Amino acid sequence: MHMQAIIFCEIKKQEGSQMARRQNDKLSKRAAQDSSKISTLPEQIDGPVGGLNRDGLDFINTLLYGYRFGNQVFNTVTPHHEDWIMLFVVLANDAEGRATVTKNIVEITGRAYGTVRASLQRFEKLGYIEPNQRIGRSELYVPTPAMKQAVNDFAKKFWPHIQKVRNQSARVKDPV
């Protein structure tokens, strides 16, 4: 009887993981199909916004730039918060000389294991992480040179963009 319960639990785990993977694929396909219908965000907000000073407007424009980074690096129209968390956790753990365990992402995001696993598999397909070791149903992941290169490439464009925004906003009178 105990063995049947274990087998039943394993089947349910696999079904949950497959369901999460299908849901993630469905959302990605829908986002790709609907991308032409989504109103595009501006490159930056040029005009003054009442109540925002130059620093506030520069900050919003920096976030817009970061959003475009997410579109490009995560290869999705709408980056999910799991994508950002995985990027941060994988790089932070690498900086400490540790691999990232699937469980770390589950604990931080509060998402189901299957949902996180589907996102991790997408990161693997993008070539940004690779499994290092398997422990139980979790795997240890490390960032690949491709992930680091994608971040570095976008960062090269980021700092000149910030300088351009600063120069443009210096010419605009503070709306506050």
Domains in the chain, please, with CATH?
2-34+53-171 (1.10.10.10)
pLDDT for 146 equals 95
pLDDT for 24 equals 66
* Residues 22, 121 contacting (CB under 8 angstroms): no
Q: What is the mean pLDDT of residues 36-47?
A: 72
Residues 50-75 pLDDT 10s: 999 888 888 898 888 888 898 888 88
Look at 168 and 116; give whichever has higher pLDDT: 116
pLDDT for 75 equals 85
**pLDDT above 70: percentage of residues in the chain:** 74
Confirm whether pTM is higher than 0.75: no
Q: What is the mean pLDDT of residues 102-113?
A: 87
pLDDT for 173 equals 54
Q: Which of 26-40, 65-79, 158-172 has the lowest mean pLDDT?
A: 26-40
